[in-house]
Amino acid sequence: MKVSKKVAGVEYAIRDVVSAAKKLENQGRKIEYLNIGDPVQYGFQPPENVKNAFIKAIQSGENYYAPSEGLPELKEAIARKEHNKGLSVTGEDILVTNGISEGLDMVISSIVEEGDEVLLPGPYYPPYASYVKLHGGKPVEFAVDMNKSTPDIDDIRSKITPNTVAICLISPNNPTGVVFNEKALKQLVDIANENNLYIICDEIYDQIVFDEKFVGIGKVAGDSPVILLNGFSKVHLMTGWRIGYIGFNNSSKLEQIREILPKLARVRICSNLPVQHAAIESLNGPQDYIIDYVSELKKRRDLVVKRLNSISGLSCSNPKGAFYAFPKIEHNRYDSDKEYVMELLNKKGVLTVHGSGFGTQYGSGHFRLVFLPNLQTLDSVLDKIEEFSS
C-alpha cells in the first residue's frame, strides 16, 4: 500500500548501522558497540537521590497525566538553570518535552514550510536534517573548523537565501565535540538578526566540557529570537527516561511560535510525570556526580585522541565537549566512509558510525565513535582499529 513520500528523507545513521552488527552477533561474534551516545549503557548511572525521586513519585500515586507544558516546579527549576547560564527566561518560558528530539520536531514543524531552508552546522546530528525534510524543508550545511571550533562566517553568509528561515547551533556539537566560544556565538546571533532568522540552539551537552568554561547562547542572545533545546539525557544520565525542554528567549519575535507550541504540547498530551519529579531532583539535588562523570570522560577523551592520531591513515581533532571523536580517514582504501565502517565491523567486530551519516558535505570521509567505554575497553578497541587501518 502507498506510504507518504515525506518520510523518504528520514535517516538515522547512528541506529541504522546496528542491524548489521546484530546479524554478526547472532552468528556468535562479539561486537564492541561504539555507535550510540548513551552513557548509561556504559556503566554511568543517575545518582540514587534521582532514582529514588522517580520511585517515590510512582509509589505515591504520581501516575496520571501531567500538565501539557510540564510541572510548574520543574519549569521553574529549569528556568533557574538557564537563567544562570545567561538566558532571559522564567518558568513561563519553558515547555517540557519527551526528550529533546520531540522538542526539535515541534519547533521545526512550527517554522518550516515547503521549500524553506534551515542552516545546520556541518557535520550535524541527523534528526535535524530529517525533521527539516519531513516538514518539506531543505537542510543547508555550513562549514565549521573542527580544530579551531569556529564557524565559517563567510560560508554562512553565502548560503543565506530568501528561503532561509532558521539557523541551528549545536554546542557542544555531536558528532565533532566543537564548542563555540562567546565570540563565535555573537557572530552567529548577529547574522541571524541581520537576516531575520530563528536561532535554534541545542545545548544538551552543556556541562560536558573539558578544556574551557562553557558559554551558553544566553550570554549573547539579548532580545534575539532564540529557541533553546536542552534536556536530561546526557548530563543527568537519564537517557531512557526521555525528558527534555524548549526554552524561549524574551523576544517579541517569538510571540507567534509561543502561542503555537503549547497547542502541539496539548495534542501529544504530556511528558512522563514520574520522570518530571526525577528531573526536579536532578536539578535541585547535589551536582558532584557531574564533576566526577566529566572527569572520567576527559581521561577517555585524552586516550582516544592520542591513540587515533598515532594511527597511520587517521587524524582526529580534539573534541572540546560531549563524548564523541570524529576522526578523518586520510587514506581510505575503500570506496566510502560507510564501506570503511562496515569493513571495520565485519573484520574486527567494532561498530562505529560513518561520517556521511552526519551530513555528506562535511561528514564524508570521517567516522564517529563514542569514548564512553572504560579505558581498558577503549584501548582494546583502538588496537583493533589500528590493526584494521594498517
Q: How confident is the model at residue 9 (pLDDT cuts 50, 70, 90)?
A: confident
d(CA 16, CA 366): 17
Q: How confident is the model at residue 10 (pLDDT cuts 50, 70, 90)?
A: confident
One domain for residues 314 and 264: no
Q: Are 326 and 146 in contact (CB under 8 A)?
A: yes
Domain boundaries, position 28: 5-45+288-389
Check whether 250 has a pLDDT greater than 80. Answer: yes
Claim to verify: residue 226 and residue 367 sit in the same structural domain: no
**Among residues 245, 269, 284, which one ends one of the domains?**
284
**Is residue 268 domain-shared with residue 135, that is, in the same domain?**
yes
As given in the structure block, the three cell numbers for residue 25 are: 552477533
Question: Are the C-beta atoms of residues 172 and 230 closer than 8 Å to each other?
Answer: no
Considering the domain architecture, whether residues 197 and 346 belong to the same structural domain is answered as no
| pLDDT the model gives residue 279 | 99
pTM of the model: 0.96
Q: Sign of the C-alpha dihedral, residues 96, 98, 99, 100?
A: negative
Residue 139: in which H helix or E strand, if any? strand 138-145
The whole-angstrom separation of Cα 98 and Cα 68 is 11
State whether 227 and 179 are in the same domain.
yes
Question: What confidence tens digit (pLDDT) does each residue in 254-268 have?
Answer: 999 999 999 999 999
User: Residue 44, Cβ neighbours under 10 Å: how many?
Assistant: 17
Residues 214 and 351 in one domain: no
Band the pLDDT of 89: cuts 50, 70, 90.
Answer: very high
Tell whether the model's pLDDT for residue 31 goes beyond 90.
Answer: yes
Contacts for 186 with CB less than 8 Å, ≥ 6 apart: 220
Q: Do both 185 and 280 map to the same domain?
A: yes
DSSP 326-364: --EESS--SSSHHHHHHHHHHHH-EE-EEGGGG-TTTST
CATH of the domain at 123: 3.40.640.10
Last residue of a domain, one of 236, 267, 284: 284
Q: What are 290's three cell numbers?
A: 557531574
Give how many domains the chain has, as a whole number: 2
The pLDDT of residue 182 is: 98
The kind and range of the H/E element at 277 are: helix 273-284
Which residues, at least 6 apart from 295, have a Cβ–Cβ distance to it below 8 Å? none
Largest separation between any pair of C-alpha atoms in the chain: 60
Mean of the pLDDT values across residues 315-336? 95
CATH code for the domain in which residue 307 is found = 3.90.1150.10
169/316 same-domain check: no
What angle (nearest 5°) sits at the alpha carbon of residue 165, between those of residues 159 and 166? 80
Q: What is the mean pLDDT of residues 320-331?
A: 96
Segment 92-115 mean pLDDT = 98
- Spatial neighbors of 252 by CB under 8 A, at least 6 apart, are 223
Residue 331: pLDDT band by 50, 70, 90 thresholds? confident
Looking at the structure, do residues 269 and 377 belong to the same domain, yes or no? Answer: no
Whether residues 242 and 221 share a domain: the answer is yes
Q: Are residues 128 and 259 in the same domain?
A: yes
Across the chain, mean pLDDT equals 97
pLDDT in tens, 63-73: 999 999 999 99
User: What does the pLDDT look like over 12-26, one tens digit per residue?
Assistant: 777 788 999 999 999
Confidence of residue 299 (pLDDT cuts 50, 70, 90): very high
Spatial neighbors of 79 by CB under 8 A, at least 6 apart, are 89, 90, 91, 93, 94, 247
